Amino acid sequence: MKLRPLISKSQFSSSLLTLVMLASTLGGAVKKNVLGELLTASNCSGCPIANRALDHYLDPTHSDYVGDDLAENWVLIRFHSSDIGWGDPMYHAIGSPEFASNCGEDPVCYRFGGNESSDAPYSPSYLPTLYINGVVSTTTDAFKTDATAVRASDTSVTMSLEGTTFDSLTAN
Higher-confidence position of 15 and 149: 149
What is the CATH number assigned to the segment(s) 31-155? 3.40.30
The whole-model pTM stands at 0.67
Strand-strand pairing, 166-167 and 170-171 = antiparallel
Q: What is the DSSP letter of 136?
A: E
- Give the integer Cα–Cα distance in Å for 66 and 55: 11
CA distance 64 to 82: 30
**What's the rounded Cα separation, in Å, for the pair 62 and 129?**
23
- pLDDT category at 13 given cuts 50, 70, 90 is very low
Give residue 158's pLDDT: 73
Domain ranges for the chain: 31-155
Q: What letter would DSSP give residue 160?
A: -
- What is the pLDDT of the chain when averaged over all its residues? 73
Rounded distance between C-alpha atoms, residue 68 and residue 59, angstroms: 10
Q: What is the pLDDT of residues 15-54, one digit of tens each?
A: 444 444 444 445 568 899 999 989 888 778 888 999 999 9
Judging by DSSP bridges, how do beta strands 30-31 and 34-40 pair with one another? unpaired
User: Do 117 and 109 contact (CB within 8 A), yes or no?
Assistant: yes
71 CB neighbour count, 10 Å cutoff:
16
How much is the average pLDDT of 113-141? Answer: 74
The stretch 77-89 carries a mean pLDDT of 66
